Amino acid sequence: MQLINQLSQSQFKQVHAFLSERSYWSKGITAERLQTAIDNSLCFALVQNNQLIAFARVVTDCATFANLLDVFVLEPFRGMGHGKQLLDAVITHPKLQGLRRFTLVTHDAHTLYRQFGFDDVQSPEFLMERHIPTAYKTVY
C-alpha cells in the first residue's frame, strides 16, 4: 500500500469516473474542471500495484484554513480500513498542521470523521455558503 500525491493518467480517470458518475457531491463534473481542482489542491491517493484504492483532496492556504473534499474509497476496497489510513495521512500531513480551522461537508460519514477530531459546526448561524447546484451542468 502506498500513498502518492501525483496521479497517473489512469488513476485520474478512475477519480473522475467515481466523482462524475457515482458520487453524490460531484456528479457531472468534467475532467477539465476536476483537473483544475486537483492542480490547485493538496491531493492524496492510496494505491496498491498502481491500482487506485482511495482519494482525497484538500484546499488550503497551509497556514490558517483547510477544507477536505472529494474523499472516497472505491467500492471493492471499502470496510478494510483504507478510509482511516487515508484520513490519517491527511490529518498528519506537515502542511496541514497548526491550522485554526479545518472543515468538510458530509451527508453520511460523520462517525468516521469524528474519529479524526471533526465535529458539528459550533456556530452554524455564522456559516454561509453560495451554493450553485447546477455548476457542473453543460450550458449550451
pLDDT in tens, 50-62: 899 999 999 999 9
- Assigned domain for 58 exists: yes
φ, ψ (nearest 5 deg) of residue 81: 90, 5
Distance, CA of 138 to CA of 72 (rounded, Å):
25
Query: Going edge to edge, which strands form the sheet with 65-73?
Result: 2-4, 42-48, 51-60, 65-73, 101-104
Q: How far is C-alpha 35 from the geometric centre of its chain's CA atoms? A: 13
Does any domain span residue 77? Answer: yes
Residue 39 maps to a domain: yes
CB of 42 closer than 8 Å to CB of 13? no
Q: Is residue 139 in a domain?
A: no
Which residues pair with residue 71 across a beta bridge? none
4-24 per-position pLDDT tens digit: 778 999 999 999 999 999 999
Q: Rounded CA gap, 83 and 55, in Å?
A: 9
The answer to whether position 115 is within a domain reads: yes
* Contact by Cβ (8 Å): 55, 84: no
Domain around 38: 2-119
pLDDT reported for residue 138: 63
Pairing of strands 42-48, 101-104: unpaired
Would you state the pLDDT for residue 76? 96
Q: What per-residue confidence (pLDDT) applies to 112?
A: 95
Whether 68 maps to a domain, the answer reads: yes
- Residue 67, domain member (yes or no): yes
CATH number of the domain bearing residue 60: 3.40.630.30
Number of domains in the chain: 1
User: Is pLDDT of 1 > 80?
Assistant: no
Give the pLDDT score at 139: 53
Residue 126 within any structural domain of the chain:
no
Provide the 3-class DSSP secondary structure of residue 125: helix
Q: Mean pLDDT over residues 59-66, rounded?
A: 97
* Pairing label, strands 65-73, 101-104: parallel
Q: Which amino acid is at 76?
A: P
pTM exceeding 0.85: yes
Q: Strand, helix or coil at 105?
A: coil
